[in-house]
Amino acid sequence: LSEISPTHFSIFFIFILYCFSHHSTPLNDEITNKMLNCPPKCYHSQNKILLYIHTYIHTRTDRHIHRQTHTYIHNTYIYTHTYTYTYTHTHTYTHIHRYIHTSREQ
């Protein structure tokens, strides 16, 4: 016998960052460029840069039940023994996706 009961959890993080180059200082532009790994040329007048960070946390639990029955005869009596084994496995894995979307308003 095998019983599988998966459980999935999803956590969504969305960070939206708006950059307006004509209102920001060169130092802020430099820090923002380093954070987004984006060259300075991608900044134009009223550019909007959206940064999406998507994190999935999945937890899956598998439970396996194994039963074994053993029957034997001893002195005209029949004996039956049943053994039950239960195995539980839990797997947790995380996926992180980052999307960078740029849109220009001209």
What is the per-residue pLDDT across 45-74, written as a single tens digit (0 to 9) for each? 444 545 455 555 666 666 777 777 777 777
Q: How do residues 1-15 score in pLDDT, each as one tens digit?
A: 444 434 433 333 333
Range of the domain at 11: 2-104
Q: How many domains does the chain have?
A: 1
**77 pLDDT exceeds 70?**
yes
Give the CA distances from residue 47 to residues 2, 16, 27, 32, in Å, rounded to whole numbers and listed in that order.
55, 13, 17, 13
Q: Is 46 helix (H, G, I), strand (E, B) or coil?
A: coil
